[in-house]
Structure 1
Amino acid sequence: MSLGVVALSPKQERSIAESTARLNIWSGAIRSGKTIASLLRWLIYVANAPRGGSLVIVGKTADTIARNVFDPLMDPAITGPVSKRILFTRGAPTANILGRRVEIISSNDARSENRLRGMTCAGAYVDEATLIEREFWDQLLARLSVKGAKLFCTTNPDAPNHWLKRQFLDRAHELDLKHWHFTLDDNTALDPDYVASLKKEYTGLWYKRFILGQWVMAEGAIYDQWDPDLMVVDTLPPIERWLSVGVDYGTVNPFDAILVGVSVPDEQRKRRIYLASEFRYDSRKERRQLTDAEYSSKLTDWLDNIPDTYGPGTRGIRPQWLIVDPSAASFITQLHRDGYTPAMGNNSVIDGIRTVSNLISGDQLRVHRSVSGWLDEVGSYAWDDRKAEHGDDAPVKVDDHALDAARYALHTTQAVWAPMLEAA
């Protein structure tokens, strides 16, 4: 079978040739080449897979399966003429690969494992295995009952206590399992300047996991590269695009909203993200809870009265997006009544934290001194040690309302502002 023109590293070639175990796992850094190697091996397997059982591709969601699995599989630069023999429609429950029907199953919670019951599998490919619930994983392995059936999967590292590491990778010598660990430097096809930039952009936990591919515990301060002497400003530059307001909704807890803008390029032709202004209402301090209608009215008053001294065009501003805490359904309804078009915030906490962390470590974030809630919270924002001991990455849920508001505003709109920062 002739595959594409992509150049493979020695480690990629070796993993493809030697992945003959029942369980074959590629883990390690982002952009390290593990996914391409595993997908090419999966194609080889599908071409010769045992008959009499289903072939399955599993991922966290239908969107991640399409993006991480089928986009590269259907790229002629990667799979060559074979790409024409891969038939898939985004969102469809099945695909056709080399003439074989392949079931597509998303595993967004433990109940998803019910979809596997009764199935007999001849082979499976799992994207981002650490995001799969353990119950689903166990059910999938039980279904790989056809003689010669194999599983192929990829994952970025997680906490060292994660079940995939403790129960499988650490026991590879006891199981019919082969494992390949990749670092960023293992992908020799990457541009050296890109690799150098990526290494600078990730720090702390993210550097160890996504650059070095290490299974390490989250500990200490989350935004450990935050430098208030450098990153807190008293005046704003001209803002090229008023991007969003992020809202963390609270009734008993504080209600927090943060205005985000992207600056015009500076003398070094660099744009930055600015947290420009903040509205905060703490019902405990005020000794009065507000209704949704009152919050909406105060939000409007705040935007209408942001001082001109904050930057040209700030008074009466209406940013492009109003991103709201997805749990605040009643408040979102009220905003619609009041003429706004709110969007639900992306509440992938760890991904959102990584987005903010990358902005900080890449010197792409500035915060106006008036955004006092965020400035008060950022220094004490820390990982939860007790949860980390059980393999879960989670921040301590104390004094994080402004941080959550900014995370909604930044992570949800990343596809818009990221090209602007790159283009400067």
Structure 2
Amino acid sequence: MALINLLTKKQIEVLQSYLNDDWKYLILNGAVRAGKTVIDNYLFLLELKRIKKLAEREKEPHPQYILAGYSSNSIYTNVISSIENQFGIVMNTDRHGHYHLFGIDIVPAYTGSVRGIGAIRGMTSYGAYINEASLATHEVFQEIVQRCSVGSARIICDTNPSTPTHWLKTDYIDNHDPKARIKAFSFTIDDNTFLSKDYVETLKAATPRGMFYDRSILGQWVTGDGIVYRDFDKETMLINEAPKNLEYYCGVDWGFAEGHENVITVFGDDPDTDITYLLDIYSSTGKYIDYWVDIAQQIQEKYGYGINFWCDSARPEYVSYFQQQGIQARNSDKSVMAGVEYCSSIIKLNKFRVLQSCAKPFLDDVYQYVWDPVKGVPKKEHDNVMDSFRYAVFNQHKKVDNQVFKNIYF
């Protein structure tokens, strides 16, 4: 079978560079679902075979190699499971949690925390494969680089874009010094010609405008610009009345002082249309926890007992007190970018409505909730209603939608 039937043109270009160019670092970066990890998984196997031959020549009985990723789950999902599905190769761990293939001891390293250094400190590695490299802490990345001290050791990376000031972009991808021997390839969604046209068109249409589109579709290293929820349209999304018998839930952002008020938002989902409705907002300063227990109980009386209250986990004593009072309070996943992207997507898809009766506090925040141009995340200003919105909507839909969402965006 011809190579063009197995790989995209961009993947073939990467493979040719792997085989023919002189490089120390091979970095694939760009859009989601563009085929970066697929080709890197193949190169990972080629590297293991190359190292096996090299170790045999050097009479090294125990060659080691680093397989790095944000977490054990991401390593398994993105690399190990994918290799098993792609190539039918089963990779099990030994009692140390290491993988073995072609006689190589493959040592997992988790890059999401500096604690990941512990797994590789002191080892000498014949190379490394770093998945989701932009999510790695700089300290762990540098430790991996330092561990790859065998003369012919090489490092393969793949990543989705982050901010243009990210160290991986400035120190590696944009480093054109020939002595650094860095080869970098940028992917767009259109580089993956094996994706169906319908899938690509739908993904493009569903991806929020601005930073999310530029990163996820075009593969660009950009930061946010302007308001976060730029697709929100008050002309079409403000309504006077919502349907009855929705699936209700709440978001809770704890606060007390002026400018950092406590907010509880109430939402309802229509299972027939998949539209999410913002129904009520309760906001105040200077109120103690018993006041908010009363509010939560009023919400239960109005919308039904047993509804979820997705809470800011920064005040565990408040969450616990809610629970003691018979309120179904839960700690929310506070992942900012994943939550913002999910909320942006339902707005982009025109699946979000706000009742006029509670529109003012929402509008006051949504039009002043803006990106930090340096950090590439929303500024911590005008964010009380926005945080409550994110806690509720992202977490309520996470169980149902998150695997699909992850498959699309990551």
Do they fold alike, i.e. is TM over 0.5? yes
1:167 to 151, 166, 171: 171
1:298 to 277, 285, 295: 295
Deviates more, 1:94-103 or 1:217-226: 94-103
Q: Distance in 1 between matches of 2:315 and 2:96?
A: 31
Q: C-alpha offsets along residues 361-382 of structure 1, whole Å, 9 cap, x if unaligned?
A: 1112122223343232111110
Q: Distance in 2 between matches of 1:31 and 1:92?
A: 32
- Asked if structure 1 preserves the Cα contact closer than 8 Å seen for 2:163 and 2:222, the reply is yes
- Name the counterpart of 1:54: 64
- 2:222 is paired with a residue whose SS is coil
Q: Distance in 2 between matches of 1:118 and 1:168?
A: 24
Amino acid corresponding to residue 62 of structure 1 in structure 2: S
- Name the counterpart of 2:16: 17
- Name the counterpart of 1:42: 44
Change (3 A) 1:277 1:94: farther
Q: Distance in 2 between matches of 1:212 and 1:206?
A: 9
- Name the counterpart of 2:187: 182
Q: Distance in 1 between matches of 2:297 and 2:166?
A: 45
1:278 to 260, 273, 281: 281
Change (3 A) 1:263 1:99: farther
- 1:27 is paired with a residue whose SS is strand
Q: Distance in 1 between matches of 2:153 and 2:78?
A: 23
Deviation (angstroms), 1:239:
4.4
- Asked if structure 2 preserves the Cα contact closer than 8 Å seen for 1:238 and 1:264, the reply is no
1:199 to 200, 204, 207: 204
Deviation (angstroms), 1:130:
1.1
Moved over 6 A (4+): none
Deviation (angstroms), 1:42:
0.7
Change (3 A) 1:93 1:405: farther
2:263 to 256, 259, 267: 256
Deviation (angstroms), 1:95:
2.5
- Name the counterpart of 1:96: 100
- Name the counterpart of 1:308: none
Change (3 A) 1:352 1:103: same
| Structure 1 residues not aligned, in runs of 5+ | 284-288, 306-313
Structure 1 residue 126 and structure 2 residue 130: aligned? yes
Deviation (angstroms), 1:336:
2.4
2:79 to 64, 69, 80: 69
- Name the counterpart of 1:310: none
Change (3 A) 1:97 1:357: farther
1:411 to 391, 394, 399: 394
Deviation (angstroms), 1:415:
3.4
Amino acid corresponding to residue 274 of structure 1 in structure 2: Y
Change (3 A) 1:95 1:273: farther
Change (3 A) 1:43 1:145: same
- Asked if structure 1 preserves the Cα contact closer than 8 Å seen for 2:107 and 2:120, the reply is no
- Name the counterpart of 2:162: 158
Q: Distance in 2 between matches of 1:415 and 1:229?
A: 28
Q: How many residues align?
A: 388
1:402 to 357, 360, 385: 385
Deviation (angstroms), 1:227:
0.3
Deviation (angstroms), 1:351:
1.4
- 1:247 is paired with a residue whose SS is strand
- Asked if structure 1 preserves the Cα contact closer than 8 Å seen for 2:188 and 2:219, the reply is yes
Q: C-alpha offsets along residues 374-393 of structure 1, whole Å, 9 cap, x if unaligned?
A: 232111110123xx1xxx21
Q: Distance in 2 between matches of 1:241 and 1:97?
A: 49
Q: How does 1:312-327 map to 2 (within 5 A)?
A: 314=303, 316-319=304-307, 321-327=308-314
- 2:81 is paired with a residue whose SS is helix
Q: Distance in 2 between matches of 1:108 and 1:328?
A: 24
Deviation (angstroms), 1:259:
2.1
- Asked if structure 1 preserves the Cα contact closer than 8 Å seen for 2:111 and 2:141, the reply is no
Deviates more, 1:220-229 or 1:5-14: 5-14
Deviation (angstroms), 1:113:
3.0
Change (3 A) 1:22 1:93: same
- Name the counterpart of 1:311: none
- 1:246 is paired with a residue whose SS is strand
Amino acid corresponding to residue 203 of structure 2 in structure 1: L
Query: Given the two structures, how large is their TM-score scaled by the length of structure 2?
Result: 0.87
1:379 to 356, 364, 367: 367
Deviates more, 1:133-142 or 1:61-70: 61-70
- Asked if structure 1 preserves the Cα contact closer than 8 Å seen for 2:64 and 2:126, the reply is yes
Q: Distance in 2 between matches of 1:138 and 1:173?
A: 18
Report % sequence identity. Answer: 26
Deviation (angstroms), 1:260:
2.4
Q: Distance in 1 between matches of 2:319 and 2:96?
A: 31
Deviation (angstroms), 1:209:
0.9
Change (3 A) 1:96 1:115: closer
- Asked if structure 1 preserves the Cα contact closer than 8 Å seen for 2:210 and 2:225, the reply is no
Structure 1 residue 393 and structure 2 residue 376: aligned? yes
- Asked if structure 2 preserves the Cα contact closer than 8 Å seen for 1:323 and 1:342, the reply is yes
Q: Distance in 1 between matches of 2:306 and 2:163?
A: 41
Amino acid corresponding to residue 359 of structure 1 in structure 2: I
Q: Distance in 2 between matches of 1:16 and 1:103?
A: 24
Deviation (angstroms), 1:31:
0.5
Amino acid corresponding to residue 358 of structure 1 in structure 2: S
Deviation (angstroms), 1:40:
1.3
Change (3 A) 1:92 1:395: farther
Change (3 A) 1:192 1:238: farther
Q: Distance in 2 between matches of 1:36 and 1:238?
A: 46
Amino acid corresponding to residue 262 of structure 1 in structure 2: D
Q: C-alpha offsets along residues 78-112 of structure 1, whole Å, 9 cap, x if unaligned?
A: 22x3x23x2259x9832233453322221223353
- 1:327 is paired with a residue whose SS is coil
- Asked if structure 2 preserves the Cα contact closer than 8 Å seen for 1:199 and 1:211, the reply is yes
Query: Given the two structures, how large is their TM-score scaled by the length of structure 1?
Result: 0.84
Amino acid corresponding to residue 272 of structure 1 in structure 2: I
